[in-house]
Amino acid sequence: MRIITPLAAGAAMLALVACEGGGMTTSEQRMLGGAAAGAGLGFVSAQVLNANPNWTIVSTLGGAAAGAMVARNTNRGECAYARGDGTYVVRSC
């Protein structure tokens, strides 16, 4: 687990740096940012709960899926979020 923590942090930093100069649209940057934040929260939660490595991976992936905002309607103030099972939920942003 001591190796996974720096690797996960390094991967998240590289992904966020890629947003800046990678020619991504604003919505893609928001989606990646939400996924990174969700993955980070899932990872930290698993670490706090002393989860085994398998549950840490599941928690991190689940957090990333929950944090990925896939659509935003600025006129209505609504956002669509991926649930991770192929469906989406629409909530206020």
36 contacts: CB under 8 Å, gap ≥ 6: 12, 15, 16, 64, 67
The pLDDT score that the predictor gives to residue 14 is: 61
Measured in whole angstroms, the distance separating CA 92 from the mean position of its chain's CA atoms is 18
Q: Which residues of the chain have pLDDT under 70?
A: 1-24, 27, 68-72, 84, 86
The pLDDT score that the predictor gives to residue 18 is: 59
The pLDDT score that the predictor gives to residue 78 is: 84
The pLDDT score that the predictor gives to residue 8 is: 64
